[in-house]
Structure 1
């Protein structure tokens, strides 16, 4: 979903809206779990934002909430067996295990963010849209996700050619 690990750990049920309506489904990034402060703090660089959720993720997200998250509005989206927020170290252990099982031992949690924002850019997102979705304030950071690919270059060139045909 293109979130930082602290933002994922800060998610609460109330941060997910309209999960039954793909046209209106939203995720609100309002806080992060700050390990150093041992508390919830505003997201990095004050990047409070609301982003649309892809329809393809909604069934799995609803299933996750039904199975694992307590039902009250401020319940953590990632909750342990007692309904409390999962710690970053517990998430790290689960992530290491999952990536080993998948045969991707070098795939870091932050790689999900990079992949998601790169795919978003490949769909034609503008720089401003990338800045918003990723919660960035520095243009040079957002530019990392606008990788030029041969396939995308060819598609854009074909569109350009159709506009200038004589």
Structure 2
């Protein structure tokens, strides 16, 4: 996705565009690594156009990032090339921060997409319905969103406790009163 300053309104991100490397660009060539070319267009499906509310716990970090940005214009890219704020962030630039971060976390095996998966699983564990997951992730089919609905080890026990509380709240007392 492509995010610009104007796409953030409070703690809501408005996703309206996708960005990809132009077909035919060879990311292994020196020239492509130095000057990757990108094309901006619509998301893969209508469902990809969405508004996503961000957790309030991460808003201080986002605000710090916005404050540190030199380009304050609404069209400024939120994540851009180090040498050119008008140029999209290259994967190699992202990896310069990503690889040390995952090593510091003791997870050198972590892939970038794993963050999306983790966020989706956490949303499901927080009680998001399948429809809510689909909307949040921009999925147009149930099949895509279902992969995030796998059961967590402790989720079944929490469901049982919640069911128990509902039964106890609605059932008469055992002593008949």
Smaller-chain TM-score range?
A: 0.7 to 0.9
1:4 corresponding residue in structure 2 = none
Moved more, 69-78 or 86-95: 86-95
DSSP-derived class of the 2:115 partner: helix
CA offset digits 1:127-146 (Å, max 9, x no partner): 00000001111211111111
Moved more, 45-54 or 106-115: 45-54
1:39 corresponding residue in structure 2 = 39
Tell me the TM-score normalized by structure 2.
Answer: 0.78
Gaps spanning 5+ residues in structure 1: where?
Answer: 1-6, 19-24
Distance 2:91 2:22 in 1: 11
DSSP-derived class of the 1:145 partner: coil
DSSP-derived class of the 2:128 partner: coil
1:61 corresponding residue in structure 2 = 62
1:162 corresponding residue in structure 2 = 165
2:3 corresponding residue in structure 1 = 11
Count of residues in Structure 1 that have an aligned counterpart in Structure 2: 152
DSSP-derived class of the 1:150 partner: coil
Deviation at 1:69, TM superposition (A): 5.2
DSSP-derived class of the 2:154 partner: helix
Please say if residues 68 and 78 of structure 1, whose CA atoms lie closer than 8 Å, have aligned partners that are also in contact: no
2:155 corresponding residue in structure 1 = 152
Choose the corresponding residue for 2:119, options 112, 116, 120: 116
Distance 1:150 1:100 in 2: 26
Deviation at 1:111, TM superposition (A): 0.3
Distance 1:77 1:153 in 2: 39
DSSP-derived class of the 1:59 partner: helix
Cα RMSD, aligned residues only? 1.7
Deviation at 1:31, TM superposition (A): 0.7
Distance 1:109 1:69 in 2: 26
Rg: which structure is higher? 2
Q: Does 1:131 align with 2:134?
A: yes
Distance 2:22 2:96 in 1: 19
| Compared CA separation, residues 66 and 145, structure 1 to 2 (3 A) | same
Distance 1:69 1:27 in 2: 20
DSSP-derived class of the 2:92 partner: helix
